Amino acid sequence: MRIIKIEAIPIELKLKEPFSISNETIEVADNIIIRLETDEELVGWGCAAPDIVTSETKKTVLTNFNMAKKTLIGADPTRINLLNSIMEENLKGNPSLKAGINIALYDILGKKSNMPLFRLLGGYREKILTSVTIGLNPTELMVEKAKKIESEGFKSIKIKCGFNINQDIINITSIHEAIGKKVRIRLDANEGYSVEDALKLVKTLEKEDITIEIFEQPTKANYLYSLKDVTNQCSVPIMADETALTLRDNIKLVRLEIADMINIKLMKIGGISNAIKANIITEIAQVPIMVGCMNESMAAMSAGVHFACGFKNVQYADLDSVLDFDNDVAKGGPRYEEGYIIPSEKPGLGVEVQI
């Protein structure tokens, strides 16, 4: 089997409402759909979701795609490890582009094998609990969003914070008062705190009898030992996210015992192949991982769901980006049920893209 055609198709996904975190607000998400076609009439779908975290833009993805295209035309799409190695050597950086291509290759492999991807990856579980994220907004809007999430059957929410500690405390306590202990609470500061403020936040919430399941990336990504300081002094499990961009980052995090957990996102790590390597590193070190997502189409997020269900060490998921969009060109894929996200049983990713 050979790849005979490859396309990169830019799309704009409009959010239902502006999404704010500690360092940015977005209303539209740029995604680039990747389409691979083979001489056996199999089509593989993938998606790149460039982000400031990965130092990518729509322009950089499309520019570097033209370089990748020359390597892929005529290649056997089932030789994923070989093609991933070539991409890593020839495309420095560009993790979301490499992820989009890698996802499309796995989609073809699943279709060729007539198996859903999560089973092809090992099929450890058939569903995984996911959180749903609440962006920074006026307190009353965040409370209403939390109540809506709870009413829809979700059992875990992730509250964005890190912009102003005093306001964050008000937001979190107000949400807790509205939903009680029926829903697990995770926090994500997106690098917004100092060590002192991160510890102050947790201690204040403990006095209010508010249980925090996970506290994600409280401090700046490039201040590695600040994150370790919070981890060593904090009663809440600390998760690295922006600090864990590459495979080398993951090795450093587990070797130096920087955080209790690591958030692996396919767009950061460069696709499923690299995510598998990162998972092996963390599982050996007995560091559990979460699979998260960027502002990405179902054509990308579905791959995260399959990966999360494939492996035991993936103990947490934050796979909710598609809930934020007014429009998505990818149809089908995983479904939400009673707080869990469940991968499609169709071959490959189980999605079809309508462009």
Active site residue ranges: 160, 188, 216, 241, 265
- Please give the Cα distance from 219 to 206 (Å, whole number): 20
How would you write the chain as a 3-class SS string? Answer: CCEEEEEEEEEEEEEEEEEECCCCEEEEEEEEEEEEEECCCCEEEEEECCCHHHCCCHHHHHHHHHHHHHHHCCCCCCCHHHHHHHHHHHCCCCHHHHHHHHHHHHHHHHHHHCCEHHHHCCCCCCCEEECEEECCCCHHHHHHHHHHHHHCCCCEEEEECCCCHHHHHHHHHHHHHHHCCCCEEEEECCCCCCHHHHHHHHHHHHHCCCCCCEEECCCCCCCHHHHHHHHHHCCCCEEECCCCCCHHHHHHHHHCCCCCEEEECHHHHCCHHHHHHHHHHHHHCCCCEEECCCCCCHHHHHHHHHHHHHCCCEEEECCCHHHHECCCCEEECCEEECCEEECCCCCECCEEECC
Return the C-alpha torsion angle 219, 313, 83, 49, nearest 10: -40
φ, ψ at 79 (rounded to 5°): -90, 65
